[in-house]
Structure 1
Amino acid sequence: MSIPNFMQMYQTLISLPSISAIDEKLNLSNKDVINNLANWCQSLGFECEISELESAPGKYNLLARLNPSDSENGKKEFHGGLMLAGHTDTVPFDDNQWSMDPFTLTETNNKLFGLGSIDMKGFFAFILHALQGLDLSNLKQPLIILATADEETTMAGAQQVCQHKNLKPARCIIGEPTDMVPVFTHKGHMSNAIRIVGKSGHSSDPDAGLNAIEIMHLVIGKLLILKQELKNKYSVDHFVIPYPTLNLGHIHGGDNANRICGCCELHIDMRPLPGISVIELQAMLLGSVNEINKQYSNAVEVIDLHEPIPAFKGTADSALVKLAEKISGEKAIAVNYCTEAPFIQQLGCETIIMGPGSINQAHQPDEYLAIEKIKPTQQMIKQLIVESCF
């Protein structure tokens, strides 16, 4: 099988829906994307291992390995060298807000539009294009391509990969959209539902029930105190927003004006800094509502909406960071969003995030990659591979 050119690969990847969603009506398999990537990698001489996720049947990871010709590594070993990693899933999309077909790569106004064009299926087209221009028989260090599933929801793909017994790359570059600026550290992500269960009743007799909205009012007061405490207590100067954040994102309670509200639910988002454990932040959250729970007999329940994602703590002076800074001409930065990096880092490799496209386009209608960025990005990715593996 011959490998397609850059634009053909890009178009194929965009055309294959691979949405991850908590809502099962929207959730799709990424198998077609994985199979295409595996076929292209095999055409370049890579040995491929496809694994179905234990926690999400129908979702798949791909590990593709290319060793130097004199390597004595066994078939299932992935030791040393460089790993280029990315996820194959996308977020859902709102058809009413897209001005074009999200599954057709559309070139207009010097932009390439498509769902996943920068977040982040397009990264794989950049990798494979770079490899087409290299003499892979001169490889000196192993080269690994990792394609994961479900990054946009549970990060189950990365969590399964970090348990791989024979995967030990020396370096990893995760190609999330950073405009090719290296990222060496980022915050984590926690999403929680705070559910108040009261007692409904007729609004004409308030004391006959227990109004969940009124209890939620007390809870919100405690959360705003916690929000300020986090801002005052913790700080890491690398970040533009140097403190952990707490956002009240969604609330729903009751069903009618003349009924005492029996249930109210609030969804919050918290972003821990490196150095603050998820367990510590969870304890602070539970502590903030503890008094209310005592007053109202366990009426308040705190639920994880997904497995918490820890912060990623890298170092600004690692060899990989210095190489990325030299090639990109940009100083490594810290960012407030999160990626698969804290799981990949558990493999023991130097890890950075660095990829094509702007994070400002991620999760947006009419997601696009600026065409003028293609050639310089291709050159940088090729140089990262050459200096790490040749």
Structure 2
Amino acid sequence: MSGEKVRANAVAGAQPPGIRDMIASLVSQPSISSASPEWDHSNESVVQTLAHWLEPMGFAVEILPVPGMPGKYNLIATLGSGSGGLVLSGHTDTVPYDDKRWQSDPFKLTDRDDRWYGLGTCDMKGFFALAIEAAKAFTGTPLKQPLIILATADEESSMNGARALAESGRPKARYAVIGEPTGLKPVRMHKGIMMERLVFDGQSGHSSDPSLGRNAMEGMHAAIGELLTLRGEWQNRYQNPNFDVQVPTLNLGCIHGGDNPNRICANCELHFDLRPLPGMQMDELRQAILDRIQPLARERNLGMRFEPLFDGVPPFETSPDAALVKVCERLTGHSAQSVAFATEAPWLQKLGMETLVMGPGYIDQAHQPDEYLDLSQVKPAVDILSRLIQHFCVDDASAAELKS
């Protein structure tokens, strides 16, 4: 595939299969995304399969290459037209897996204990099948506003699929629901995630005479003290009772340095994780870290490198008074809540959409051997998605009242 936009081939008049068969087909196609090349797969077959189902339903389908990422594609499928409308969004990739820990083939949908087992069943290929099933009922219905099914690449690794969409300014709609596994409870906020790398370069020398070198590990010891002091200051300043862990967290994840007890340590590297709350800006946090650490490096005559391990995910929050939040609360009977995991919501929000995270399955099953989607979630999910389409695309309701 090449070019900015590619229309998928479709069989005229063909209709998507049933929910189970759709999930089985999507699960059977490996689309792992990973920073490790030996694990990383293209998601092309998954987006082509979605396009093959959606075009005969009347969706205008675009498959967009993700810039700088060969083999990775986003899909935008649009039914109807208008300046508002609803996006149902999911990611096409999965995490890696350990087949020795699975009781069944990760790429074969397996029925057991009123559950569908398979890699990506709840996180989150299953959501596409449920969204398409909900959309079937509206293919012959005049829509006042468009329904958009969005499928992204590389959410589990780089988030570059969603990032590319935000940079291109597409898709345009008024509301967006991201179908991550939340047990069908609406989620209106989550923390961000930053993974950072700090490196000090000193000078090796014989340990019997400290003046012969510059100890990078001692510099890192002082830097860790400053990071922990910063963490305490942030936790005193920022608190949000909507989260189980109400403060921003900073975790010292791994450290490497030196090569022998009798040599002055010439190099030390620290990786750490920072989870900011909504309202905290990632660039300001990085600058605060630099302001504390750079003087330490200069005092000790150490070379210093400070950089993200990946670009990070900003924290996310939608107002509790947003129309989408109110509608989803009434549909589900649950108040909108927060979660600890990060999603693509910040990038859809940057596109100007009221954004909410809500989908079938539970995060406890995600990224685990024997991942499954509980069958008790299937019919309720289709019903909720159908009523969202009716409300925002057919009725074009702008208020939070929901027609019964």
- What TM-score results when the alignment is normalised by the length of structure 2? 0.89
The residue that corresponds to 1:4 in the other structure is 17
The corresponding residue for 1:50 is 63
Where do residues 54-93 of structure 1 align in structure 2 (5 Å cutoff)?
Answer: 54-67=67-80, 79-93=83-97
Which of 153, 159, 162 is the matching residue for 2:166?
Answer: 162
Structure 1 residue runs of 5 or longer lacking an equivalent are: 74-78
Counterpart CA distance in 1 for 2:286 and 2:238 is 15
**SS of corresponding position for 1:163:** helix
Aligned length: 381
Shift of 1:127: 0.4
Q: Distance in 1 between matches of 2:179 and 2:344?
A: 10
Give the root-mean-square deviation of aligned CA atoms.
Answer: 1.9
Is the partner of 2:272 in helix, strand or coil?
strand
Maintained 8 Å contact 2:243/2:339: yes
Q: CA separation in 1, counterparts of 2:169 and 2:181?
A: 29
1:21-40 to 2 correspondence within 5 Å? Answer: 21-40=34-53
Change beyond 3 A, Cα 1:365–1:386: same
Change (3 A) 1:218 1:326: same
Check the 8 A contact 2:182/2:358 in 1, yes or no: yes
Q: Out of 319, 330, 336, which is 1:326 matched to?
A: 330
Which deviates more from structure 2 when the two are superposed, residues 255-264 or residues 271-280? Answer: 255-264
The share of aligned pairs that are identical, in percent, is: 47
**What amino acid maps onto 1:21 in structure 2?**
S
- The answer on 1:372 being equivalent to 2:372 is no
**For 2:244, which of 236, 240, 249 is the aligned residue?**
240
Distance in 2 separating the partners of 1:165 and 1:260:
52
Deviation at 1:189, TM superposition (A): 1.2
Q: 2:154 corresponds to which letter in structure 1?
A: D
Conservation of the 8 A alpha-carbon contact between 2:214 and 2:302: no
Q: State how 1:1-390 maps to structure 2 within 5 Å.
A: 1-67=14-80, 79-134=83-138, 136-165=140-169, 167-203=171-207, 205-390=209-394
Equivalent residue for 2:399?
A: none
Separation in structure 2 between the aligned mates of residue 166 and residue 226 of structure 1, nearest angstrom: 38
Per-residue CA deviations over 1:121-170 (Å, capped at 9, x if unaligned) read: 11101101112344532433210011011111221111111233463201
Other structure's SS at 2:226 match: helix
Structure 1: distance between partners of 2:238 and 2:174:
32
The separation in 1 between residues aligned to 2:243 and 2:105, in whole angstroms, is 36
SS at match of 1:157: helix
1:202 to partner: Cα distance: 4.6
The one-letter code of the counterpart of 2:51 is: A
The 1-side partners of 2:246 and 2:262 are apart by: 45
Distance 1:34 1:125 in 2: 13
Partner residue, 2:8 = none
CA distance in 1, matches of 2:51, 2:206: 62
Distance 2:30 2:206 in 1: 49
- One-letter code of the match for 2:42? S
Give the gaps of 5 or more residues in structure 2. 1-13, 395-404
- State the shift of 1:182 in Å: 0.7
TM-score, normalised with respect to structure 1 = 0.92
* 1: CA distance, partners of 2:375 / 2:206: 62
Q: Is the 8 A contact 2:200 2:297 kept in 1?
A: no
Matched residue of 2:70: which SS?
A: strand
| Distance of 1:258 and 1:365 partners within structure 2 | 44
Tell me if the contact between 1:55 and 1:156 (Cα under 8 Å) persists in the aligned partners.
Answer: no
Find the residue that maps to 1:162 and give its secondary structure.
helix
Distance 1:142 1:102 in 2: 35
